[in-house]
């Protein structure tokens, strides 16, 4: 399976700094055409960064799920969780892409590929370890990695709730916090039972 190389941590720091300073209504993100839609008036930099970063984050969660679903001997409850993650996050990616399009934003200009392990993103080595595992080891690795991954998504969603302006994006962020906090607890319970 071919995966993109992780971008330098400096880009992740840039994304964090952008999120930290996103309260100004006049700040313009690269790639955003403010005149393209009336909806842009209800969007700030935090909304744009959240949507851009969450697309990449969700794509990796789906990749991790695909990896574990292809392994032999994975626990049924882990298979069920991986399928649920794919079912939930695939449509959210489409929704986030649609928002960026409506807002006149090119997600490729947002630097979202700069996320690193600090955002809950797995490294190439983490993904390779998951891909090499099977059975109980694959189940354990998936749960441990997905907990970290979900914690990163929850942190990003909390930043959106605190700093975002677009009501739909803030509502989605609240949903991410609720759903993924519940799944983190479920995964911790599954690990404790192993």
Instruction: Give 56-99 as a 3 state SS string.
Output: HHHHHHHHHHHHHHCCCCCCHHHHHHHHHHHHHHHHHHHHHHHH
Three-state DSSP state, 105: strand
Distance in angstroms (rounded) separating the CA atoms of residues 113 and 156: 14
Q: What is the DSSP letter of 2?
A: -
pLDDT over threshold 50, residue 12: no
For 105, list phi and psi in degrees, rounded to 5: -110, 135
Residue 15's CB is within 10 A of a number of other CB atoms, namely 23
User: Bridge-partner residues for 105, per DSSP?
Assistant: 32
Residue 132's CB is within 10 A of a number of other CB atoms, namely 12
- CB within 8 Å of 70: residues ≥ 6 apart: none
pTM for the whole thing? 0.78
- CB within 8 Å of 185: residues ≥ 6 apart: none
What mean pLDDT comes out for the span 8-20? Answer: 36
Nearest to 145 by CA among 167, 168, 128: 128
Residue 9 confidence class, pLDDT cut points 50, 70, 90: very low
pLDDT over threshold 80, residue 83: yes
Instruction: Assign a CATH topology to domain 42-106+117-192.
Output: Ferritin (1.20.1260)
In the predicted model, what is the mean pLDDT of the chain? 82
Distance in angstroms (rounded) separating the CA atoms of residues 43 and 108: 18
What mean pLDDT comes out for the span 132-142? Answer: 96
Distance in angstroms (rounded) separating the CA atoms of residues 6 and 121: 9
Distance in angstroms (rounded) separating the CA atoms of residues 139 and 117: 20
Residue 194 confidence class, pLDDT cut points 50, 70, 90: confident
């Amino acid at each position: 399976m071919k995966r993109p190389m992780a971008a330098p941590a400096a880009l992740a720091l840039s994304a964090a700094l952008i999120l930290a300073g996103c309260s100004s209504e006049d700040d313009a993100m690269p790639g955003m055409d403010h005149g393209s839609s009336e909806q842009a008036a209800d969007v700030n930099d935090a909304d744009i960064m959240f949507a851009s970063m969450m697309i990449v984050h969700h794509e990796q969660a789906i990749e991790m799920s695909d990896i574990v679903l292809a392994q032999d001997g994975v626990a049924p409850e882990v298979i069920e969780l991986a399928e649920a993650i794919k079912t939930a996050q695939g449509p959210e990616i489409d929704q986030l892409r649609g928002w960026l399009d409506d807002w006149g934003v090119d997600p490729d200009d947002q630097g979202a590929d700069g996320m690193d392990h600090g955002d809950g993103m797995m490294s190439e080595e983490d993904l390779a370890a998951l891909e090499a595992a099977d059975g109980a080891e694959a189940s354990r690795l998936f749960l441990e990695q997905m907990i970290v991954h979900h914690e990163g998504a929850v942190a990003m969603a909390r930043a959106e709730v605190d700093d975002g302006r677009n009501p739909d994006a803030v509502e989605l962020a609240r949903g991410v916090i609720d759903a993924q906090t519940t799944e983190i607890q479920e995964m911790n319970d599954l690990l404790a039972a192993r």
